[in-house]
Structure 1
């Protein structure tokens, strides 16, 4: 594809195809936004998830969300290399380690070992850990649509999907 060709998503808007998606997505956003985890942490985790699954759409979406929320460029760009970046709190580091553990296969054993769970639980209570798991699951739920349907990154939601035929 050349730069002069029109770029379009592979699928039309999934919500037009499966109207129930709106209710499911809304319920997920409500559950994740319950206040148990700071929104900045959720967005950092979801940005890292987008990077890990190799989705430009999700990476651009969550980068934009963080920037609109006032996060510094240093924090946003350092998510990909968070382990050696000085910009994250201990709680944010535990959350980033969890998303990496959940989304990265571990041929040597359990993805979320007891040590990582203990580190995360030192920063988060049970409700917050469940919320963090749902935030990771939320981006996971939309990953398949992002990778298969390829919505256009960085444009208004109404323009992300080609029109239904």
Structure 2
């Protein structure tokens, strides 16, 4: 008759708890060992601070005020604002699509800017919150949905074909006449023009124009 004495697990470099269990012979021991080791590793992982995720403490933009460096930017910005403000598209629709653009590229400055514009215009909080999930939200008109779909199509690749297919253009034409649709295109172009400044220059979100850029 042979006997077998249960042994404690080999050292693994981990500090094991003082109440480390003893296991019976055979398969149950290996299963228990595995489960216990997983519990120890999970506890160590939870208690170890993550060092690979930087904490953002930005107090100034990367670039100084671009309109000071390149004064012509004021003229360009003013012309774009005038072009999109011709009255054929509600300003709230423009702010909705520009907020969606900021969400797509993951830029806090643009998200805060256009969220604030929508609140000033009296847009319901439910509508603002639902912009990121507009497809199944009940808060938007058909015209607003087309505007949001267009900006998404422009800014995200379509693996199965054109970014803006004929079918989408046809639906947009049902909601907007030629001038209004061109204005909508310019509104998308307006936010896309300033995307590089927002992403690379990193103006401070939620501050006055004088405080957005470092001096």
Short-chain TM bin: over 0.9
Q: Which structure 2 residue ranges, 5 or more long, are not aligned?
A: 1-53
Q: Answer 1 or 2: which has greater helix percent.
A: 1
Q: After the TM superposition, which residues 16-165 of structure 1 pair with which residues of structure 2 at under 5 Å, given as runs?
A: 16-163=68-215
CA RMSD of aligned residues (A): 1.2
The structural deviation recorded for 1:107 is 2.3
CA distance in 2, matches of 1:21, 1:162: 17
Task: State the match for 2:63 in structure 1.
Answer: 11
Q: Which ranges in structure 1 are unaligned for 5 or more consecutive residues?
A: none
Distance 2:58 2:205 in 1: 14
Q: Distance in 2 between matches of 1:40 and 1:105?
A: 26
Q: Partners in 2 of 1:55 and 1:131 — Cα distance?
A: 24
TM-score calculated relative to the size of structure 1:
0.95
Return the alpha-carbon distance in structure 1 between the equivalents of residues 70 and 156 of structure 2.
29
Corresponding position of 2:31:
none
CA distance in 2, matches of 1:36, 1:6: 39
Q: Could you say which structure has the larger radius of gyration? A: 2
TM-score, with length taken from structure 2 = 0.73
TM superposition shift of 1:106: 1.4
